[in-house]
Structure 1
């Protein structure tokens, strides 16, 4: 188990890696670049994260953990509508969307990154399935999995438009209302 100082240093590395990925894209992302941003030696970064795949894996694991923790800490977090509104809120900061767009592009060409993405979306899907099990209690497990994938796909596709100002000529508030309605219909079948 890492010491408090070690955990803090790992978090600093993840913060720097996130910032580089968002600001410079994967083209500017490297272990060396992360070390430079922190005025550290490359070997120090490699001590915490063996390579770029391990670093990216930790970065996206942390993003998922933070999202799930933030969702669970909300006062009203049990309903499907709560989950959808939470995801819509998470799509507002452009940085969050940029990070995932970079992952999608990388996953198309890199098996290790594709595995990171697959693990991330498996956890995301499980969270949606859990909420669906409460929202539609009699739904068969197979149907619940399929609907969770449909909902996840809708939400992730929306991030392509919601994550950048000016991509949509639709009032965000109305779109959010329509999304909640569409997801509710998907859930109900």
Structure 2
């Protein structure tokens, strides 16, 4: 857990620092415990600076989902030179564990998002952002599968349906690990996807 003044915060500009502090406070204290004051304290900034960027807690949370999308694009780490199967597993493992993999930051990242998903049911603005972020991931995954079909890596299959299925399986497993007294649903799901991969997509080995 990064404390105010830790070197962890030095890698961010002010806006990103506020977003990262929001992730940690939201993950640790939930929506009810999240305040602009606590976000400012975690980032080691004064409350007035947070208010300069954000008018309210709701404004902060909606901006967080914008930040998550940009972070996904930046941190996922897909290499254009990788084979389609490697690209696919990069997406799936990022969705399962978040930035930093199984480390503490990845877990806090997904706990924070899990908190917001419940709110999105009754908040159209949050739901619109979640839908946009999900669509980005489905489109990206479908493009990777289509690339693999074209070069013969994957068998012929509907890329979008396969993408929706794979992401739904990962999302469900991740949410189970976060909300129940389990910690193996993601590992089990990824292992099962690897086992079924030859049937689903026509390849048999999960990239190392």
TM range (shorter): 0.7 to 0.9
How many residues in Structure 1 have an aligned counterpart in Structure 2? 178
5+ residue gaps in structure 1?
A: 1-6
2:163 matched to which residue of 1?
148
Specify which of 112, 122, 125 is matched with residue 135 of structure 2: 122
Specify which of 126, 129, 141 is matched with residue 113 of structure 1: 126
- The verdict on how the C-alpha distance between 1:144 and 1:186 changes in structure 2, with shifts beyond 3 A counting, is same
- The verdict on how the C-alpha distance between 1:78 and 1:23 changes in structure 2, with shifts beyond 3 A counting, is same
Provide the aligned C-alpha RMSD in A. Answer: 3.2
CA distance in structure 1 between the aligned counterparts of 2:192 and 2:171, rounded to whole angstroms? 15
Residue 41 in structure 1 maps to residue 54 in structure 2: no
- The verdict on how the C-alpha distance between 1:22 and 1:77 changes in structure 2, with shifts beyond 3 A counting, is farther
CA distance in structure 2 between the aligned counterparts of 1:116 and 1:89, rounded to whole angstroms? 21
5+ residue gaps in structure 2?
A: 1-11, 203-208
**DSSP 3-state at the match of 1:167:** coil
Query: TM-score, length-normalised on structure 2?
Result: 0.68
Structure with the bigger percentage of helix: 1
Q: Deviations over 1:96-137 (max 9, x none)?
A: 221121121111122221122112111111221121111223
Query: TM-score, length-normalised on structure 1?
Result: 0.74
Question: Quick one: higher RCO (CA 8 Å, sep 6+), 1 or 2?
Answer: 1
CA distance in structure 2 between the aligned counterparts of 1:135 and 1:15, rounded to whole angstroms? 35
- The verdict on how the C-alpha distance between 1:167 and 1:119 changes in structure 2, with shifts beyond 3 A counting, is same
Residue 60 in structure 1 maps to residue 65 in structure 2: yes
